[in-house]
Amino acid sequence: MRGRRKILRKIGFCPEITYFKPAGVPLRNLEEVVLSLDEVEAIRLAELDDLDQEEAAQKMGISRITFLRILHSAHKKIAESLIYGKAIQMRGGEIIMPNLDGTGPTGQGPLTGRGRGRGIGLAAGQRNVGRGQGLGGSVDCVCPKCGKTLPHRRGIPCAQVDCPDCGARMAGVFCR
């Protein structure tokens, strides 16, 4: 007997850097904790956007109790990583990413997260360049002020690059 299908959680942010590890410790010596993208979204909405539980749950298209369960799981994984010196990888989850690529509220098409944890999709016409753990998920860096586009340099987050025209910090194509 099968249970009900999980409701896909809506996320409005895809992290450009997807891997963190303690400094000075080789990766081969570390245990790893996987933080799903819906857990990252819950942390973002609750801690950075300061939304209350009900508002955050509505943005993710889930119940308040489910939101709390996701948030608790994320906090526990982050605490475990900090206390025991484990690496954190952000990937996967039962997610849908509507409106990140113009697919609308149903999220049909590329970048919708329907791959169930197989990585970040690409919009039509984009190449799979620089995909790797913590190497940046963007193909291009875009200036939020003037709209200038630069090719993404592997290993350097777009947020650490200044726009050559106006001097503002760049943002990755998949970031908001």
130 within domain boundaries: no
Are residues 26 and 69 located together in one domain of the fold?
yes
Are residues 114 and 35 located together in one domain of the fold?
yes
40 within domain boundaries: yes
Query: How many Å separate Cα 58 from the centre of its chain?
Result: 18
Asked whether residue 173 carries a pLDDT value surpassing 80, the answer given is: no
Cα→Cα distances 78→81, 125, 132, 150, Å:
5, 36, 21, 33
Residue 48 contacts by C-beta under 8 Å, 6 or more apart in sequence? none
Last residue of a domain, one of 103, 125, 147: 125
- Amino acid code (one letter) for 68: L
Render pLDDT for 50-99 as a digit per residue (tens, 0 to 9): 999 999 999 999 999 999 999 999 999 999 999 999 999 998 888 887 75
pLDDT band with cut points at 50, 70 and 90 for residue 32: very high
Render pLDDT for 98-111 as a digit per residue (tens, 0 to 9): 755 444 444 444 44
Are residues 68 and 108 located together in one domain of the fold?
yes
Host domain of residue 161: 135-176
Cα→Cα distances 18→47, 124, 146, 165, 167, Å:
18, 22, 27, 28, 26
148 within domain boundaries: yes
pTM of the model: 0.59
- Amino acid code (one letter) for 106: T
Are residues 57 and 118 located together in one domain of the fold?
yes
1 within domain boundaries: no
Total number of domains constituting the chain: 2
pLDDT score, position 85:
92
Are residues 59 and 14 located together in one domain of the fold?
yes
pLDDT score, position 99:
58
Are residues 55 and 140 located together in one domain of the fold?
no
54 within domain boundaries: yes
Four-point Cα dihedral 89, 95, 98, 101, nearest 10: 40
Among 24-33, 34-43, 91-100, 134-143, name the one with the lowest average pLDDT: 134-143
Distance CA 108, CA 99 (A): 10
Are residues 103 and 172 located together in one domain of the fold?
no
Are residues 82 and 115 located together in one domain of the fold?
yes
Backbone angles phi, psi at 141, to 5 degrees: -105, 135
